[in-house]
Amino acid sequence: MKKIVFLILLSLCSILLFAASGNSTQIIKSGHWIYDDLETLCMESKSEYFFETQPMTIGEMKFYFQRLPYENLSQSGKILYEKVKSFLNKNDDFFPNLELRFFTNLQVNPEFYYKSNPDVDWSFNYFIREFPITLPIIIGFSDYVTIEPDFMLGKNQFAANEPYNFTNIPYAGYQFEFSFPRFAYGAVGHAFDKWGVNFIAAREGMQIYNTQLGSIIYNRTFETDFYCSLNLYTEYLKYSLHIAEVDNTKFLYLHQLNMIPFRWLKINVLEGSLLNAPFELRYLNPFMIMHQFGSWTQYGAALSENENKYYEEGRFCAYLAFMFEVTPFKNFKIYGLYSQNEILDFAGARDDHALSYPDSLGGQLGFQYNINLKDKGMIKTYLEGVYTSPYLYVKQSPEWSLYRSRINMLNGEETVTWIGSPFGPDSFAVILKTEYDSQEKWKAGIGYTFSIHGENSASSLFSQYDDQTNNIYTYYPTVQYNLANENNDENGMQSAKDKGRYMWMTGINTYKHQVKIYGSYSFLENLNIYGQGVYTIQIYNNEIFHCIELGCGVEYKLFK
């Protein structure tokens, strides 16, 4: 009897394994190639659609994709169009009458690395691509509900960043990533003829705008315990409500409005509030300007006497961001991003105390130009720069700054991520790169990055804590001003004011020049190899360091 039951279950799993997986509420992970290709098609057709907030459901992608003018595309553009169409519609014809959809696909990504100088940090962000083993399990209920956890096996960030790390495969107990699955969600929604709606509840990985250096507004590297997104969209207007539980003491509320006033222009406005307090309903109102609550003044009761005295406000961080994208002619776009969490009011006070509040802001500007080759193939060129002021994302305490810190359970090491730019505050970077896509089996690219990092990092800032007398953090210019004022220290007050007004990189700067060459080759649809090499010149305190990094990997998927 047990054998019969086992055979029945095995047969059922075999049927479900090949059932349709591309239902409309399945979401595609941020950074997937499909987003780049959809943006490329928009550029060639001189059209704007809302592909900037990721991840997205397949249904929403299709809603915009079917509006792209196929007849206006070049030969290489039509090849790309068919590739995207095939991906969005794959498996739709498998068992169309089956209401329950199930799919899994073992993905193996072994990678190997070499770094010549242990004094230079890795340029690889965690890994080149993925964890060495990933097993997504996708379950769909009709076409309107999808749930998916991606179970994985891999190294944690501390182990991946060790100077002599040579692979993404963990081989010691302290190296395993305890926090998994990293990508897990449930989604519901539907796209109608003229509009659509979806709701996503996930763990982490959201991104607002796809850039070369990481989004300054909200980057997919920002870790959260949970986030959800409600999206209402039409062809020209989209509203999104995002709520993130950064950890069990921090909640982030974001209202995002995207508009396309002209076919060649896209505008995005975002207002946010981070609260270091229990969950509140009032921040969910889409018609309320959250700044009007004056929340920075309302949580003084939660502060200690000294915190209230020196911080002056607390448990709250306001966040504001803008984005624009212009496609003035085919295959060329200009985009810009701006974010801030503190800025001196234009009509506000200008005394020394007010001037000690730092302007915490950043900007990002980029250009992309694509060249379609005659028959097939495409060349993409990028130029992008990003600037973050010394106190962008930073408030009086790390508890209500726009960052996340967690301790790895297996080795006790800290993992820190900022909401936006992976460079964090106090940085400047420029990238110039070009890529060639044969549209057949191989791709290749070369890029140059120049960056400057000041001394304001999470570790350097948040380690400045006075646990002897006042029990407060002392890194923030306004706190330093209040401490100096209490001691009648004129020089200290002037120094704090100067820090608040200083807008370039702080302290002894780290300069980096990096040249990267990378490429990939596909043997089969489910098997490809890839690699990259990076040469770095790092200058710090008049010392020059040279470093060569090499990385290669194999990507294999059990099913195409």
Spatial separation of the C-alpha atoms in residues 488 and 448, rounded to whole Å: 49
E-assigned strand segments in 355-426: 360-372, 378-388, 403-407, 414-418
Furthest-apart CA atoms within the chain: distance in Å:
87
pLDDT mean by block of 10 residues, the chain; 560 residues: 41 38 82 93 92 94 93 90 90 59 88 94 75 90 89 89 91 86 92 95 93 94 94 96 94 95 94 90 82 72 82 90 95 96 76 90 97 90 97 94 89 88 95 93 95 94 85 92 90 92 94 96 92 96 95 90
Please tell me the number of Cα atoms within 13 Å of 8 on its side-chain side: 5
3-class DSSP state for residue 80? Answer: helix
Q: Are 50 and 38 in contact (CB under 8 A)?
A: no
Looking at residue 543, its pLDDT comes to: 94
Looking at residue 9, its pLDDT comes to: 37
Looking at residue 344, its pLDDT comes to: 81
Spatial separation of the C-alpha atoms in residues 232 and 542, rounded to whole Å: 53
Q: Is 93 exposed, middle or buried (0-12, 13-18, 19+ CB in 10 A)?
A: exposed
Give me the numbers of helices (H) and strands (E) for the chain, helices first please.
Answer: 10, 28
Q: Is 104 exposed, middle or buried (0-12, 13-18, 19+ CB in 10 A)?
A: middle
Inter-axis angle of helices 58-65 and 33-45, to 10 degrees?
20
Spatial separation of the C-alpha atoms in residues 19 and 99, rounded to whole Å: 10
Looking at residue 23, its pLDDT comes to: 81
HEC readout, 20-49: CCCCCCCEECCCCHHHHHHHHHHHHHCCCC
HEC readout, 365-382: EEEEEEEECCCCCEEEEE
Looking at residue 308, its pLDDT comes to: 86
pTM of the entire structure?
Answer: 0.90
Q: How far lies 507's CA from each of 110, 111, 386, 395, 510, in Å?
A: 40, 37, 19, 19, 9
Looking at residue 128, its pLDDT comes to: 64
3-class DSSP state for residue 2? Answer: helix
- Close Cβ partners of 181 (under 8 Å, ≥ 6 residues apart): 149, 150, 151, 152, 203
Spatial separation of the C-alpha atoms in residues 33 and 29, rounded to whole Å: 10
Which amino acid, one-letter code, is at 51? F
Report the DSSP beta bridge partners of residue 333: 368
E strand or H helix that includes residue 305:
helix 305-311
Looking at residue 92, its pLDDT comes to: 46
